[in-house]
Amino acid sequence: MWTSKTITFILFTVTTLLASSNAAENATTQPLFPAILIFGDSTVDTGNNNYPVNTFFRATHLPYGIDLPNHAGNGRFSNGKLIPDILAAKYNIKQLVPPFLQPSLSDQDIVTGVCFASAGAGYDDLTSLSTQAIPVSEQPKMFKSYIARLKSIVGDKKAMEIINNALVVVSAGTNDFILNYYTIPTRRLQYHHVSSYQDFILKRLDNLIGELYSLGCRNFVIGGLPPIGCLPIQMTAKFRNIFRFCLEKENKDSVVYNQKLQNQIPQMQASLTGSKILYSDIYNPIHDMMQNPSKYGFKETKRGCCGTGFLETSFMCNVLSPTCENHSEFLFFDSIHPSEATYNYIGDLLDAKIREWIAA
């Protein structure tokens, strides 16, 4: 027969174990950041280009989004999730990051963060002019509108606390080279050497980070350039490149730009008190995937999954385009943008870096 003391002890032990279990569960499900905020181009645009009337680049149609839960194009330039979605899910913030211009945003969508990026955008306003994208320099205007709505939901103090602690992802720059400097003569006449144009772009980036900092952002992850010369569309642009070699000159430009960006980050951080800025390496992971495809389960790295894979992107990659049978075997989904499989590999690497960075 159990005594009242025994029963009390058992109840105390069970209660303690349940409390410990709940605490452990809360620790694993608690978001690492209260919100995620995204600025940049098509590598991180989760659908803002669905809404401006004259935007040239859209991904509202299949086969874009075919591997998303609803199997429908919703503005993401890939077959599935992008880096913002992958990170948001890893940090228990949300499964998909909505675009700010989406009319049906809920209060919870706002509180946990949104995307301000626009496909075709660049740090250089001239880049966005040619694509009718929302320039990166204009994206903070949307952010200001976002802040006003956030304050109306949670109050001024809580809103600034969310923004101060949010993860801010900035990814752009590729379009400034492939859609502007390498293609349109205007900037080449102004900047005779690519090095001086890189400096111009990095100054524009510096201005962006400074503006976002003034609005309350503190935790920044800034993406570098990919190996631009290995993008399928760039290999296609060289008509005599029948063996589809990466364009080493353009890759070298990417390497130099990325090194300059890495050198600039400590100076940016020092000038913005309380900021934390992390460089996100895109170049080396993608370059390694090109060099060692089997390591990642890829069978094709020199063309996209959509259509011929040599030129198709945006409206050229559409419901009439044949697609590869296994999307995860292709490094690129269209002639510019990586597949979800590629983004997952990069997301895993970036996640490890961010957790290390936050813990430091």
Among 42, 321, 328, 335, the one annotated catalytic = 42
Distance between CA atoms of residues 40 and 24, nearest Å: 36
Burial class, 132, CB count within 10 angstroms (exposed 0-12 / middle 13-18 / buried 19+)? middle
Residue closest to 316 by CA, chosen among 328, 301, 333, 299: 333
Among 41, 85, 253, 334, the one annotated catalytic = 334
- Write the CB contacts of 59 (distance below 8 Å, at least 6 apart in sequence): 42, 49, 65, 73, 74, 75, 76, 77, 119, 314
Residue at token pair 């590729």: 174
Annotation marks residue 334 as catalytic: yes
163 CA to centre of own chain: 18
**Cβ distance 206 to 268 under 8 Å?**
yes
**Cβ distance 140 to 208 under 8 Å?**
yes
Token pair of 331, please? 């490094």
Among 176, 321, 337, 339, the one annotated catalytic = 337
Annotation marks residue 71 as catalytic: no
**Residues classed as catalytic:** 42, 334, 337
